[in-house]
Amino acid sequence: MLSSQNRLRKKSDINNVFKEGRTVAGNFIFLRAAKNKLNTNRFAFVVSFKVSPKSVLRNKIKRRLREAVKKIIPEIKRGFDFIIIAKPEIIDKKFKAIQEEINEIFNFKFDKIIPKKRF
């Protein structure tokens, strides 16, 4: 589990990320990011019914995404809200593939959409 300070919970905060955030697309994950006024990063995970109608599989994917993000939280720039959205292609991926995709998105593509010198 992510600590409570690292979770996006309020609907207004989630809507803010969808309205004002920028999107990065990976092979089987979308990342939506927006600046917040806090000194921490907050995360939300979305695995829709389109990915799998079975709640067991959707929850399994969310657990894998949370664990992959948990391992890289110290390396990410502070002060952002993130929503990680799973594409249907994620359904047959192993944890290692999910972890590599998360690392690639946060290390390479995230810096492209939100340059370090802007903030």
**In the chain, where the domains are located:** 4-114
Question: How would residue 112 be classed by pLDDT, with cut points 50, 70 and 90?
Answer: low
Q: What is the pLDDT of residues 49-75, one digit of tens each?
A: 999 999 999 999 999 999 998 888 888
Residue 118 confidence (pLDDT) above 80: no
What is the predicted pLDDT for the residue at 88?
92
> How is the beta sheet containing 22-25 ordered, strand by strand?
22-25, 29-35, 80-86, 42-46
Token pair of 99, please?
Answer: 């972890």
Q: How many CB atoms lie within 10 A of CB 66?
A: 16
Does domain 4-114 fall under CATH 3.30.230.10? My reply is: yes
